[in-house]
Amino acid sequence: MANKSVKTTIYLEPQLLEYLHNSAKLNEMSMSRMLNDILRQRFGEDAEDLAAFEEAEKEPDIPFEEMVKKLKDEGLV
């Protein structure tokens, strides 16, 4: 990992801690690495969603009636 890690304290529900421990052991990695991977994946999904929203904001506004007609023409409604 290129970035320097920072030590922190988090509170997990006992069952989540058990899942994390068992999954890390099964995958032969540390719990820290597993948790970092999980968070990186989750935040990556959020970043993709935000990028899609930002791209959609650039699209021109279409009147409701025009959009309904377009959807009907495409057989989606």
* pLDDT for res 2: 58
30 is a domain residue: yes
49 is a domain residue: yes
Buried b or exposed e, range 63-72, using 16+ CB within 10 angstroms: eeeeeeeeee
The count of structural domains within the chain is: 1
pTM for this one? 0.55
42 is a domain residue: yes
* pLDDT for res 1: 45
pLDDT per position as a tens digit, 27-67:
999 999 999 999 888 888 887 887 888 888 888 888 999 99
25 is a domain residue: yes
- Range with the largest mean pLDDT of 5-9, 15-19, 40-44, 56-60: 15-19
Domain with 65 in it: 14-73
9 is a domain residue: no
